[in-house]
Chains A and B, each alone.
Chain A
């Protein structure tokens, strides 16, 4: 399969007084279309930082991210927003739903920046919630949903714009086994339909079950050798 996302000598440093934290240190990574990549590593090793860099949400201290061969550094902030809006889905450990909106509105929100009309947005949100068996929860606020349901709404929000890639930062970190399995099934399903996935997880069993390839991060460095699934 063709490579389409690449990190080249990617660095992200944080300056803490005289001390420099190398959150991501000279990472080279190539991602193929339809790949399911797992990233593991101890807490503080820079997994989330790497994910944010790849999604274009964070700006590297050095190095670059290339999408289809064109580097982020040559894109304006607005163009990177457009890239995120059109091609990237993100799922977080803490769901990050907006408490004031219903599940339906939260999902529809993802289409807000892609120029869809409100009617279309709500219709498509209703459709995807129905497909993810959350149709009866559409009117509920996040506070009225279980953790598993919230994360499914978050995945629906990430998937509604049919992105090319999904960045999932410990998507099952706050869930019990049953709900974790449910989320895992969903991700596998989307991946089988051509979605590229980069997932950060502590759960070795989960990464082993889902990923084509698992890499480990240590102190900001991505270890070149694959971890045995």
Chain B
């Protein structure tokens, strides 16, 4: 008896019990359909996250931070230009750029906002993180002082769409402290003022009490220092006009992005005008002794940054890199390591969905057991005749097993189609809802070939397991008793 003979008999038997077979198959169809639809959702969600990560190059991005206070006795490792140069030599690192934030006032038309802008080298601007634009491009056209904005700026200027920002001119201004301005304030501005001071001095008192003069001079000096500081702080305002050439897709605050990204060139022009007039950063700079000496060159050479970003190769080892950085006294964060966590959650999620599907499948499999056990009772005589004609126990067992296998295969095939169809419909509905809500529609369902293979295998396997016991019983039917009609 060949396989096709068995198959033909099994198929014929299913056709004979059409209604019952159909109902049993329906059970499998629903179970497999639910299984496929649910896991398609799981796979879709996972793919969305992976896509997002890939889109922004997060798998190849690592952040390095200073650790604040170092260990006892040691000064904490800082991220300065020297450190950046060392990072660049670490294995697997393609590109290093510092996180360089500048406080700016941005004016567009009559609106002014205070923001922080991030300065980036052209190669950093070329990385995936800054290349996901919803409008425009990152590369400034020739002769244009271009900047890239994020959606944060769109919101700050209360614009309705990112496109509205494109091509707009922004006036960037930075308030810097200035020694010149300080000096001009410290010195009395005209001669009549000097005369007033002199007139106010009582010459008798000066002669009788030398201390009086000293107090007078000291008072004058401290007043002058006060005036210098005020003048210094009032300082000067440097401005620059730039054009928005692109708007990033990333949402506000995502990946720690600032509302405005400046090419390093533009940032330098603003930075080199002088130290920030912000008292806090000024005080910090003073403490580090950075305000002394040549305000331009010296300062730029020795800047420290709160963090740096490493753009690393696709297959570089995060763990190794992270360990190296820790050994160097830095702390680090990689989205790839973060993703491991997310992946674990997805596996649990898939497992839960799979278990629900499996429970449905087991329930459906009980239907197969029921159908096949009833089939034995009905076909006892037939089994007896087959045996009298020379069928052995394996022949009988195989026919019954094949019948339940067929129920599983047909059920699983239709179930996969059903599950796929349901996930397509659900996807369309979900996209429509997202569109109506003003969210960019994403694909929530994916049915990977592996899922189809697993569903088909599961469907057939569980049906065969369900059919195994009835098939063994069928094979053991006593032909003599069966033919007697007992």
* CB interface residues, A 51-109, toward B, < 8 Å: 52, 55, 57-58, 77-78, 81-82, 84-86, 88, 90, 92, 96, 98, 100, 109
Is B480 an interface residue, CB under 8 A from the partner?
A: yes
On chain B, the residues within 8 Å of A126 by CB distance are: none
Known contacts A96-B483, A113-B1, A118-B5; is-contact A81 B12 (Cβ 8 Å):
no
* Contact indicator B390/A100 (Cβ below 8 Å): no
* Contact indicator A57/B382 (Cβ below 8 Å): no
Checking A55, A86, A96 against B385 with a beta-carbon cut-off of 8 angstroms, the contacting residue is A96
* Contact indicator A85/B385 (Cβ below 8 Å): no
On chain B, the residues within 8 Å of A82 by CB distance are: 390, 392
* Contact indicator B390/A57 (Cβ below 8 Å): no
* CB interface residues, B 389-408, toward A, < 8 Å: 389-395
* CB interface residues, B 447-486, toward A, < 8 Å: 479-480, 483-484
On chain B, the residues within 8 Å of A96 by CB distance are: 381, 384-385, 388, 483
Known contacts A98-B385, A100-B12, A100-B16; is-contact A84 B480 (Cβ 8 Å):
no
Is A112 an interface residue, CB under 8 A from the partner?
A: yes
Residue from A55, A81, A86, A90 whose CB has the most chain B CB atoms within 10 Å: A81
Is B387 an interface residue, CB under 8 A from the partner?
A: yes
In the bound complex, how far is the Cα of B483 from the Cα of A175, in angstroms? 19
In the bound complex, how far is the Cα of B131 from the Cα of A30, in angstroms? 97
Is A195 an interface residue, CB under 8 A from the partner?
A: no
* CB interface residues, B 15-36, toward A, < 8 Å: 16
Number of interface residues of A (CB under 8 A): 28
Known contacts A81-B387, A81-B391, A110-B389; is-contact A58 B480 (Cβ 8 Å):
yes
Is A146 an interface residue, CB under 8 A from the partner?
A: no
* Contact indicator A77/B393 (Cβ below 8 Å): yes
* Contact indicator A78/B382 (Cβ below 8 Å): no
Cβ distance B228 to chain A, nearest Cβ, rounded Å? 110
* Contact indicator A114/B390 (Cβ below 8 Å): yes
Cβ distance A129 to chain B, nearest Cβ, rounded Å? 17
Interface of B is mostly: helix
On chain A, the residues within 8 Å of B386 by CB distance are: 109
In the bound complex, how far is the Cα of B385 from the Cα of A85, in angstroms? 12
In the bound complex, how far is the Cα of B475 from the Cα of A78, in angstroms? 12
On chain B, the residues within 8 Å of A109 by CB distance are: 386, 389
> How does the 8 Å CB contact mask read for B276-312 relative to A, with 1 for contact and 0 for none?
0000000000000000000000000000000000000
In the bound complex, how far is the Cα of B147 from the Cα of A50, in angstroms? 103
* Contact indicator A77/B480 (Cβ below 8 Å): no
* CB interface residues, A 98-147, toward B, < 8 Å: 98, 100, 109-110, 112-115, 117-118
Known contacts A57-B388, A112-B1; is-contact A92 B483 (Cβ 8 Å):
yes
Residue from B390, B393, B395 whose CB has the most chain A CB atoms within 10 Å: B390
On chain B, the residues within 8 Å of A55 by CB distance are: 388
* Contact indicator B392/A90 (Cβ below 8 Å): no
Cβ distance A51 to chain B, nearest Cβ, rounded Å? 10
In the bound complex, how far is the Cα of B393 from the Cα of A113, in angstroms? 12
Cβ distance B406 to chain A, nearest Cβ, rounded Å? 17
* Contact indicator A112/B387 (Cβ below 8 Å): no
Across the interface, name the chain A residue whose C-beta is closest to B478: A58
Cβ distance A132 to chain B, nearest Cβ, rounded Å? 18
* Contact indicator A86/B480 (Cβ below 8 Å): no
In the bound complex, how far is the Cα of B480 from the Cα of A59, in angstroms? 10
* Contact indicator B480/A112 (Cβ below 8 Å): no
On chain A, the residues within 8 Å of B8 by CB distance are: 118
On chain A, the residues within 8 Å of B394 by CB distance are: 78
* Contact indicator B390/A81 (Cβ below 8 Å): yes
* Chain A residues in the interface with B (C-beta under 8 A): 48-49, 52, 55, 57-58, 77-78, 81-82, 84-86, 88, 90, 92, 96, 98, 100, 109-110, 112-115, 117-118, 157
12 contacts between A and B (CB under 8 A): A48-B484, A55-B388, A58-B480, A78-B392, A82-B392, A84-B390, A85-B391, A100-B12, A100-B16, A109-B386, A110-B389, A112-B391
Known contacts A49-B480, A84-B387, A118-B8; 7 additional CB pairs below 8 A are: A48-B484, A78-B394, A81-B392, A82-B390, A98-B385, A112-B1, A113-B391
* Chain B residues in the interface with A (C-beta under 8 A): 1-2, 4-5, 8, 12, 16, 381-382, 384-395, 479-480, 483-484
